[in-house]
Amino acid sequence: MASLIEEIRTLGTQALADIRAAASLEQIEQLRVAVLGRKSRLTQLMRELAALSEDERRKAGMILNEVKDTVADELKKRRAELESAERAREIAGQTVDITLPGRTRLFGRRHPLVQVRRQIEEIFISMGFSIALGPEIENDFHNFAALNFPDEHPARDMQDTFYLPGGWLLRTHTSPVQIRAMLATPPPLAVIAPGRVYRADADVTHSPQFHQVEGLLVDRRVTLGDLKGVLEAFAHRMFGAQYQTRFRPSFFPFTEPSAEMDIGCVICSGVGCRVCKGTGWLEILGAGMVHPAVFENVGYDSEKWTGFAFGMGVERIAMLKYGINDIRLFFENDKRFLEQF
């Protein structure tokens, strides 16, 4: 009995020493089979315990199991150590040149005009306006007459119009959408009309095709103060609250009183530069209270309802926002230009 226990302990001690000395995962596996396998001496001794008395068997069995557990733990520990060392060797050989460029994939962007248009739309949508759309090919009624541009009035010279056969025209602003919206919907109304417009004019700051976002609010007791509030909020969200705004009297046939809104020059911060012609101010949009004649033209009661309208050129806003000096760049679509936005 004593020699049996002695042998168990000796086997255990030897096994632990062998395991600690093992230098590879293969050796560990061999040791596991040799020490704990079915043909191992410890397994054999386990079977021999059956011949002992119950008391001795329990005692010896306890010792045997204890040795087996210790050996198994040691095997596990050493295996983990060796695995970890192996991984460390692998990792050491896996170093890449982190300065090589990453794998490329096409990188798509929205056009700067679309980005700016959507930004304008989102600001007004968040205030409660919704989007209205209309055709680019219009008639005189929607583009001029309903907007209180009398026939043969010099106000028509403010917009050089492209005409189509049959008295049709390419809309010179998105205001016809406002007329269509009012003809289709009774008040109250809060819409913005983004879209492509055309004027027969071409130079560094004028393109025969450009984009506008116009807005219209009609409700009871809308005031010029409301117009100021909404447009100031817009300017601050578009360009940043650090820029001042100012409203100057102006003239549009379809609004009265009419105004133009300037913001402090985003290029020179108001000191005066070439872009702002030394004034420190940049005009960004035109606006005004809807002229009663327009309401009369669409069948709204101008005594019950008041409203304001405003309009801005997307190109102008984008040029100021990004410091672009030539409007033609937007339509040339040079890849080197498009990839900057």
Partner 1 sequence: MQFSVRWLQRYADLDMPVQQLLNGLTMAGMAVEGVIDVGLVSGKIVTGEILDIQPHSAAKKLHVCTVRASADSAVPPLHIVCGAPGMKVGDRVPLALPGAVLPGGRVIERCEIRGEWSEGMLCSGAEVGWNKDGSCLLTLDAAYPIGEGVDALVDVGVTPNRPDCLSLLGIARDIGAYFRRAVHPPKFRCIETMDRTDDFAKIAVEDKEGCPRYTARVVRNVRVGPSPVWLARAVEAAGIRSINNIVDVTNFVLIELGHPLHAFDLDKIAAHTVIVRRAREGEKLVTLDGIERTLTPEDVLITDPTRPIALAGIMGGENSEISDSTINVLLESAYFDPVRIRKTRRRLDIQTDASFRFERGTDRENIHVALNRAAQLVREVAGGEITRGVLDVVGTRSKPQPITLRIQRTNDILGADLEGSHIADILVAIKCEITHSDHHQLVVVPPSHRVDLLREIDLIEEIGRLYGYEKIPASIPYLPARATAENPLQETADRIGEILAAEGLSEVVTYSFTDRESLQRAYQSAEDAVELVNPLSRQQSVLRTSLMVSFLDTIAYNQKHGNADLAIFEVAKSYRCVGSKDTPYQEHLYAMAALAGCTPAHWSEPPRPWDFFDIKGIVERVLRRLGAAPEFIERPRRPDFHPGRTACFTRAQRDLCVFGQVNPEVTAAWEIRGDVFLAEFDLEALAPYVSPRVGFRPLGQYPAVTRDLALVVDRGIPAGELELTLRTAAGDLLEGLLLFDVYEGEKIPAGKRSLAWSLTLRAPDRTLTEGEINTLIERILASVSARHGAELRTL
Select from Zn ion, partner 1, none the partner in contact with residue 226, using the beta carbon and a kind-dependent cut-off of 5 to 8 Å: partner 1
> Should residue 183 be labelled a site residue for partner 1 when binding is judged by CB under 8 A?
no
Quote the least distance from Cβ 327 to partner 1, whole Å: 11
Pick from 332, 337, 326: nearest CA to 204: 326
Q: Where are the alpha helices (DSSP H) in the chain?
A: 2-21, 25-36, 41-48, 54-92, 112-127, 140-143, 175-184, 224-239, 292-298, 314-322, 329-332, 335-338
Q: Which is nearer to partner 1, 289 or 309 (CB)?
A: 289
Among the listed residues 198, 158, 190, the one whose alpha carbon sits nearest the alpha carbon of residue 313: 198
Q: Which is nearer to partner 1, 45 or 216 (CB)?
A: 216
Under rule CB under 8 A, residue 90 binds partner 1: no
**Which CB, 268 or 329, lies closer to Zn ion?**
268
| Binding track, positions 235-264, relative to partner 1; x by CB under 8 A | -----------xxxxxx----xxxxx----
Q: Could you write out the DSSP letters of every residue in 211-236?
A: EEEEEEEEETT--HHHHHHHHHHHHH
Task: Indicate whether 229 belongs to the interface with partner 1 (CB under 8 A).
Answer: yes
Contact 295, 287 (CB under 8 A): no
The entry of partner 1, Zn ion, none that residue 196 binds, CB within 5 to 8 Å by partner kind: partner 1
Site for partner 1 in 285-304 (CB under 8 A): 289, 291-292
Instruction: Report the amino acid identity of residue 80.
Output: A
Helices (H) and strands (E) in the chain, counts: 12, 10
Residue 189 vs residues 128, 192, 240, 286, 296: alpha-carbon distances, Å: 10, 10, 28, 20, 16
For partner 1, which residue of 2, 51, 53, 101 counts as binding (CB under 8 A)? 101
Report the C-alpha gap between 266 and 239 in whole angstroms: 8
- Site size toward partner 1 (CB under 8 A) is 86
Determine which residue in the list 20, 58, 77, 153 makes contact with partner 1, applying CB under 8 A: 153
Residues of the shown chain interacting with Zn ion in the complex, contacts defined by CB under 5 A: 265, 267-268, 273, 276
**Applying CB under 8 A, does 164 fall inside the site for partner 1?**
yes
Residue 88: how many other CB atoms lie within 10 Å: 9
**Could you tell me which stretch among 30-38, 41-49, 68-76, 153-161 binds partner 1 (CB under 8 A)?**
153-161
| 230 in contact with partner 1 (CB under 8 A) | yes
If one asks whether residue 203 binds partner 1 (CB under 8 A), the answer comes out as no
Choosing from 111, 236, 237, 321, the residue that interacts with partner 1 (CB under 8 A) is 111
The verdict on whether omega for the bond into residue 112 sits within 30 degrees of 0, i.e. cis, is: no
Nearer to partner 1, 58 or 109 (CB): 109
